[in-house]
Structures are given as C-alpha cells and as structure tokens.
Amino acid sequence: MNATRYIASTARATGSVAARRSTAAARSITTIAAAARPTRASRPSASIAAASSTSRGVKTLDFGGSKETVWERADFPKEKLHKIFAKDTFAVLGYGTQGFAQSLNLRDNGLKVIVGVRKGGHSWEAAKKDGWVEGKTLFTIEEAAEKGTVLMNLLSDAGQKQGWPALKPHVTKGKTLYFSHGFSVVFHDQTGVVPPKDVDVILAAPKGSGATVRSLFLEGRGINSSVAIWQDASGEARDRAFAMGVAIGSGYLYETTFEKEVHSDLVGERGILMGAIQGAFAAQYDVLRAKGHSPSEAFNETVEEATQSLYPLISKNGMDWMYANCSTTARRGALDWAPKFYDATKPVFEALYAAVEDGSETRRSLVENSRPDYRERLEEELRVIRESEMWRAGKTVRGLRPENVK
C-alpha cells in the first residue's frame, strides 16, 4: 500500500507535527538498532548522569481502565543504590546477552560486580575483552557464586537446569538469588531449581534483548522491566528487587509474579514478538509472489514498510494514530480486515497459552536446547530462514536504505 508516500506528502503539504514525529521516531529506531550492535562498550555516556536528575518517581497510572503502580529510575538514584547494596557483591553467572549487559550496567553504576562463566570458553574470552580481570573480577561460576552475595543466575534456561546441582551449595542463608526470567523456578518440577527457604528470590526482567538493555542505558534512557518476588526471607526483598531493576539499567518498572512473567514472556516470544510475525510475514510474501509480484515489491509491502514506516508510528502514538496518518483506502481496508485476522489468530494464541501454562512448551525447550548438537541444529534452522527468498530479498532492500548507501 502507499501509506508511506501518504505520510511523506502530508508532511510536505501541511508541515504536520504528527508526520514530523514519525520521521523522528524512525530516526530513533535506526539509532537504537545501531547502538544495539554488540560492541560491548563499557563506558557510560554523559547523558546517563543528566538523566538521573529527573524528578519523576513512583506513581499510580491508569492502564486502559486499570490502576497500576510503576517505579522509575528517579526512585533509586545512585547514592540510594550504593546505600542499599553497600555490603553486596553481585555475582553475574553467565555472560550471554543479558549477562554482559547487566554486568556492565551494574559496574557503570559504581557497584561491586564479579562475573562467573566457564573458564576458557567463548564467554570467558568475551568477558576479558570487556575488562573483567581473571582472579579479580572474573571467575568460574562456582567461584563467583561462593564470593557473591547477590547471585544473578543469567545462564540460559537449559543451562540453569544443568548447572543447578553445582550452584545450589553456594546459595546459602542470607544471600539473594536473582533471575531475569521465571522459567527455572516456576517450572521447578522439570528443572529441579528449588531455592532454599532462607534466601531472598527475586526477579527483574528487562522487556528486550541484552543489547537493548545496554544501548538504552548508555543513552541515559533505560528499558522497561518487570519485577517479582518468589520469596522474601529477609523482609527487604521487594525494595531490593526494585533497586536491582534500576541498577541493571531499567528506566521504569512494574510489579508482576514469577508465574505471570514467564507465561507472558513465553507467549510473547512464540507469538506476536517473534514466531507469529515471521509466520505472517512469510504467508503474505508467499501469496504476493504466487500472484506474480516481484521479490522487491513483495518484501517492501510485507516487511520494509512495516518496520521502517508504520511500526515506528505505532510505537510513537498508538495504532489509531498510525491509521489516522495513512491513506483513506489503507485505513478502510485495515479496519475491515483486522477483525478477520483477530478471529483467525485468537484460537492459535489460546492454544499457545495453554501449551505454556501446562508446561509442554517448557519440556520442548529444555529437551531441544539440551541436545549435544543444539548449536548445529539451531544454525540449520536459522540458515533456512536466512536463505529463504524473502530474507535474501530483504538484505538487498536494506542495502538500498539511504543510511546504507555508500
């Protein structure tokens, strides 16, 4: 459709503030994507200090008719974080996408941090490149767990199951066991992860990849995250959980439960955030190609216009605002067809939620991600996507974006 051209002409003809905002939003998305590349920069930008002076704070807001309380970074300035965690050593266990981001953000916030990973592996070398020093701030997982008071279990879900027998002896009275996903604890019947009763068990789950957690922190903004308490042995777990959320780089936080976090997260990843969107992209692309449209046209009308023009508008001011800034023909068609897609997809989402809730998705994830040939199988699955005509066409289309033309 010609929604993009309509928005551009509106901006030229009327100087529309809304259209100009859409351009700014698109630039912002491009900036974030560039910053999210895993450069693993460890120095905070000057904007971090400036952002910490904001006067906004904890408040109750109306979310579509329901009242919810949110906490913001201003509720936990650096001096308060230092006071809360004055006696703590954060042991970040695992140095994947969340481990690297959260450990660097904690370090940049001036807190005492050590990293625990398998010695000699890829993550060990990556941590050394980021300035973690063997024997001082870089240890094996067991050594870091012994030294730490806040044990941040950021291993993969399958890794947490496999590593729990070695970690458990170090989860001793008075310590805090921290997660960024409720998977292992909620599905303990499958993972075996059952924390002892004399430790706090908390969660701060960033709503985005580790690369985004890091890049938004460096921009002085912060990602949104959920916070939950599994058990409060100290009587201070709730306050410490929210403080942890800010310390790892969150801009604002909302409270949930371990169960709701893992259920919504697994549904979102398999659904509209990743699985459903790939399925829908591929289905529309294939129909257009079967009807004689060229690869470039099919990709532009399926993916490129969505990600580069329309999604930033939704992000900026919502779906209705995006509709209002498109042509009358595009708007009418979208309003008429949205209910049909709702009716077609809701049963799939209901089946997906049931599979998450009953643990069958957990079983599949643990089995598949624990296979000895996991990485080879994963690469083959990703290769099929990467080498499909749609995404090969996409690579050429992305190369034509003005910012990519050399």
Active-site residues, by number, are 181
User: Which residues is 203 bridged to in the sheet?
Assistant: 179, 228
The residue type found at 251 is: G
Three-state SS letters, the chain: CCHHHHHHHHHHHHCCHHHHHHHHHHHHHHHHHHHCCCCCCCCCCHHHHHHCCCCCCCEEEEECCEEEEEEEHHHCCHHHHHHHCCCCCEEEECCCHHHHHHHHHHHHCCCCEEEECCCCCHHHHHHHHCCCCECCCEECHHHHHHHCCEEEECCCHHHHHHHHHHHHHHCCCCCEEEECCCHHHHCHHHHCCCCCCCCEEEEEEECCCHHHHHHHHHCCCCEEEEEEEEECCCCCHHHHHHHHHHHCCEEEEEECCHHHHHHHHHHHHHCCCCHHHHHHHHHHHHHHHHCCCCHHHHHHHHHHHHHHHHHHHHHHHCHHHHHHCCCHHHHHHHHHHHHHHHHHHHHHHHHHHHHHHCCHHHHHHHHHHCCCCHHHHHHHHHHHHHCCHHHHHHHHHHHCCHHHCC
Alpha-carbon distance of 148 to 47, in angstroms, equals 30
Alpha-carbon distance of 128 to 137, in angstroms, equals 10
The residue type found at 36 is: A
